Amino acid sequence: MNITIENILLIGSLLLLASVLAGKTSYKYGIPTLILFLVVGMLAGSDGFGIEFDDPQIAQFVGIVALNFILFSGGMETNWNSIKPVLWQGISLSTVGVFLTATAMGTFIWLITDLTIYEGLLMGAIVSSTDAAAVFSILRSKNLALKSNLRPTLELESGSNDPMAYVLTIAFLSLVINQDLGLFSIIPLFFQQMLVGGACGFLFGKVSKYIINKIELGFDGLYPVLVIALMFITFSATDAIGGNGFLAVYLCAVYLGNQNIIHKRTIIKLFDGLAWLMQIILFLTLGLLVFPSHVLPFVGIGILISLFLIFIARPLSVFISLIPFKMKMRRRFYISWVGLRGAVPIVFATYPLLAGIDKADMIFNVVFFISVTSVIIQGTTLSVVAKWLHVALPQKAKRKTPVDLLLSEDAKTTMTEIEIPRGGFVVGKRIVEIQFPKSTIIAMISRDNRFITPSGSTILEANDILMILSDNQEGIDKIYESLQIKARK
């Protein structure tokens, strides 16, 4: 079946519906959702119902767009206070760990196949990073609570290690194409990509915050659209000057997620939904791109490489990269087990296809098999292994959400009313411009005998009465400090 303008919406919507229903089923029975998205795409493809799609360039474009949304959503939901204690562990895993995985895998692939050492290293680089889409979706869908900052470590690693894998993939691909280049020629590329990408991520984060909070759009629904535009500007501008766009997008989102910006909750919720949509579209596209009949001849070698990755290369890289840090052995084992490969390696595997190297088809099909087996083997056993290694928190010890705390009998929420005096410090300022403590919220504003539900863009006026909710009295005291109003005795 050929995809035409007339039937693309019908086919696309049916595939989306099938994927969502498959996702509901997978959640019920513990099957990773992402695998079923792939299966739906494969069943609809040329070896299934006959939708003909064989364009790696379009698949790569879809992958890059989808990864922007997935990384941005994950970054927006990353709490700086939770990742700060594990920042260096995450950085070590996402750089040293990725490099060690790539080199170990590359050497093993070179030894057991007829690929050259550079081709082996290329395949090793492609599968060297854990997949943000897989880790975010599986950990959050299973609502898995882990001890000792394990979860922020895993999410930080998966969100920040794709740039390293991308740099290694591009570097080793250039060595395959031009073997006159030496191995050390990739070092300048690495530092350029990482340093420029990191600097641009922070810079665009600050600029984006300023634009979001200062611009007057008039319609609340335009703010998420503005953020999407800023996200793509961050990626494309960073890439244009030689930096790593994926790293810039992730860091920009982490910065924004930990700042006071207008309509922050709305933006986060929208990006969460868009990230799921992009995951579905990405896996459907990759499922359509792959031909199961082409993968079957590589099952044997794929199993060997998958087992080596899961049980040797990944644990070895994790243990070496975490040597400088104090951490119990069972926690290191669990981090090594959550080495999920997913859509990212398959997207990266399209680069050799587009470059036209001799073994590109083999690399793509083996990488596809590795990703599928990783999500099936590791993704289905995350909860079991967590309990086996004693790193999972019991249900009653899981961190409660603000809603849970408000509904619990022993909730100690404090409420007060504060009137803004005429000529006060905050008169004429928008709420987002005032540094309120995170433990407090303005539930409502009484103004001229009417009640206003506030947002970040609400401008405070003289004689406004703010109805404040806080976790404790300390939060109320900090509110008075932020408003520069003397607390009532």
442 & 348 share domain: no
Whether residue 423 sits in one domain with residue 386: no
Alpha-carbon distance 243 to 199, whole Å? 9
Question: Do 371 and 472 lie in a common domain?
Answer: no
Q: Give the mean pLDDT of the chain.
A: 84
Query: How would DSSP label each residue in 1-57?
Result: ----TTTHHHHHHHHHHHHHHHHHHHHHHT--HHHHHHHHHHHHSTTTT------HH
Q: Are residues 388 and 408 in the same domain?
A: no
Residue 146 CA, chain-centre distance (Å), reads 18
Is the same domain home to 200 and 274? Answer: yes
Where is the domain boundary, 369, 397, 425? 397
Assess if residue 45 is contained within a domain. yes
Radius of gyration of the chain (CA): 25
- Which H or E element spans position 382? helix 382-388
- Cβ-proximal residues to 143 (8 Å cutoff; 6+ apart), any chain: 398
CA–CA dist 156, 77 (Å, integer): 11
Do 127 and 244 have their domain in common? yes
Residue range 449-455: mean pLDDT, rounded:
82
Least confident of 197-211, 322-336, 352-366, 411-425: 411-425
Cα–Cα dist 319/475, whole Å: 42
Q: Do 281 and 423 share a structural domain? A: no
In a domain, 489, yes or no: no
Average pLDDT over every residue of 445-461: 84
What's the CATH code of the domain at 111? 1.20.1530.20
Q: Is residue 143 part of a domain?
A: yes
Contacts of 152 (CB under 8 A, 6+ apart): 78, 79, 82, 83, 86, 90
Find the CATH number of the domain harbouring 479.
3.30.70.1450
Whether 51 shows a pLDDT value over 90: the answer reads: no
Is the per-residue pLDDT at 387 higher than 60? yes
CB 352 within 8 A of CB 173: yes
Between residues 58 and 401, which one has the greater pLDDT?
A: 58
- Strand ranges for 253-412 from DSSP E: none
Of the two residues 144 and 29, the one the predictor is more confident about is 144
Q: What pLDDT, in 10s, does the model give residues 337-358?
A: 988 887 789 899 999 999 989 8
Structural domain contains residue 2: no
Summarize the confidence of residues 376-393 as an average pLDDT.
84
Task: Determine the pLDDT at residue 12.
Answer: 72
User: Among 397, 412, 436, which residue terminates a domain?
Assistant: 397
Rounded distance between C-alpha atoms, residue 28 and residue 360, angstroms: 37
pLDDT at 404: 43
Q: Rounded to whole angstroms, how far apart are CA atoms 139 and 157?
A: 13
Using pLDDT thresholds of 50, 70 and 90, give the confidence band for residue 401: very low
Report the domain count for the chain: 2
Domain membership of residue 25 (yes or no) is yes
* Residue labelled with tokens 């099909």: 365
Q: Two tokens at 57? A: 């360039």
Side-chain-facing half-sphere of 328: CA atoms under 13 Å: 10
Structural domain includes residue 3 = no
Is the same domain home to 14 and 90?
A: yes
Distances (CA, A) of 24 to 14, 27, 32, 303, 373: 15, 5, 10, 29, 21
Residue 28 has pLDDT above 60, yes or no: no
| Nearest alpha carbon to residue 345 among 201, 158, 198 | 158
In this prediction, residue 403 has a pLDDT band, given cuts at 50, 70 and 90, of: very low
- The answer to whether residues 407 and 311 belong to one domain is no
Looking at the structure, tell me whether residues 359 and 419 fall in a common domain.
Answer: no
Q: Is the pLDDT of residue 408 over 50?
A: no
Helices (H), 45-129: 56-76, 80-83, 87-92, 98-112, 117-126
**456-469 pLDDT, tens digit each:** 778 888 888 888 88
Domain boundary among 397, 414, 430: 397
Q: How confident is the model at residue 114 (pLDDT cuts 50, 70, 90)?
A: very high
Residues 327 and 379 in one domain: yes
Average pLDDT estimate for 359-367: 93
Confidence at residue 488, expressed as pLDDT on a 0 to 100 scale:
65
Q: What is the per-residue pLDDT across 122-158, written as a single tens digit (0 to 9) for each?
A: 999 999 988 766 676 666 655 566 777 888 888 888 8
CA distances from 59 to 34, 84, 254, 282, 295 (A): 17, 35, 27, 8, 18
* Per-residue pLDDT band at 234 (split at 50, 70, 90): very high
- What's the pLDDT at 271? 92
Q: In this predicted structure, what is the pLDDT of residue 141?
A: 59
> Are residues 349 and 260 located together in one domain of the fold?
yes
Instruction: Write out the residue range of the structural domain in which residue 252 sits.
Output: 8-397
Mapping DSSP to helix (H, G, I), strand (E, B) and coil, where does residue 459 land?
strand
In a domain, 488, yes or no: no
User: Is residue 279 assigned to a domain?
Assistant: yes
